[in-house]
Amino acid sequence: MSENIVTLTDVHLKRAGKPVLVDLSLRIPRGKVTAVIGPSGVGKTTLLELIGGRLRPDNGYLLVDGLSVPDLGRRELFELRRRMGMLFQGGALLSDLDVYENIAFPLREHTHLPEPVLRQLILMKLELVGLRGARRLMPDELSGGMTRRVALARAVAMDPQIVMYDEPFTGLDPISKAIIVKLIKKLNKTLAITSIVVTHDVVEAIQIADFVYMLGEGRVLASGTANEIQNSTRADVRQFLQGQADGPVPFHYEADDYFSDLFNAGLLNKDEQR
């Protein structure tokens, strides 16, 4: 068994003719928490879509647990996805089902377990996230943090090998963020799973990650442990980690010289004609 459960080698991907990933190579170690950080629009969520087989790379190699995902047929891809859990950015709970039935949904779809066994599994997952007492609440009765916790319980309902988190901390208050951080670490250890956390929340990523990749311009800009990333001397990495408004990612969109543009009356008619 390989120590890396996910391997990408020289992956290229274009969307609408625009390069999204360029020469992307990375390894996700089995049984660990790997954080993928970087500014918005650098391909973090696209990476999860590739791993789950929703997208196929234009070039390169992508292996998940030894399987070449782009080469899988429909049946084999569905079998692989059953070994994956996904926490979507907004939770993506089914609004017409209560908490209990939201978690029951994947179990009813993919298994033929008797109701008593199903009930025990659901209550066990809810206990893991601290919401066993909320099982009959509807999604619109939940806070943002509770919604994310229910979605996490659903993501692990099938005891997956891999759980992927797409911006799990977005829109949460500090207490809810702390709870999700705790749960990711706890579930990764308790269930012996591999966690891939895509986020632009640096503080939370550093807290939970065994290994960190920072993406930029469709490729890996930096990788290493949390301490190694924090001590990086790369200007673009420092700008992101420190939240600087200007730097390698400039504040100003590319334009002509300001004063020439401002006082060149010959351009006035061109702008007025647009």
Which domains are delineated in the chain? Answer: 4-92+161-272 (3.40.50.300)
**pLDDT at residue number 217:** 81
CA distance 159 to 6: 18
**pLDDT at residue number 180:** 92
- 3-state SS string for the chain: CCCEEEEEEEEEEEECCEEEEEEEEEEEECCCEEEEECCCCCCHHHHHHHHCCCCCCCEEEEEECCEEHHHCCHHHHHHHHCCEEEECCCCCCCCCCCHHHHHHHHHHHHCCCCHHHHHHHHHHHHHHCCCHHHCCCCHHHCCHHHHHHHHHHHHCCCCCCEEEEECCCCCCCHHHHHHHHHHHHHHHHHCCCEEEEEECCHHHHHHHCCEEEEEECCEEEEEECHHHHHCCCCHHHHHHHHCCCCCCCCCCCCCCCHHHHHHCHHHHHHHHCC
What pTM does this model have?
Answer: 0.86
**pLDDT at residue number 6:** 95
CB 87 within 8 A of CB 81: no
**pLDDT at residue number 269:** 55
**pLDDT at residue number 202:** 85
- Chunked into runs of 10 residues, the chain (274 residues) has average pLDDT values of 89 89 93 90 89 93 94 92 89 92 92 92 94 94 93 93 93 90 91 93 89 89 87 78 70 78 65 54
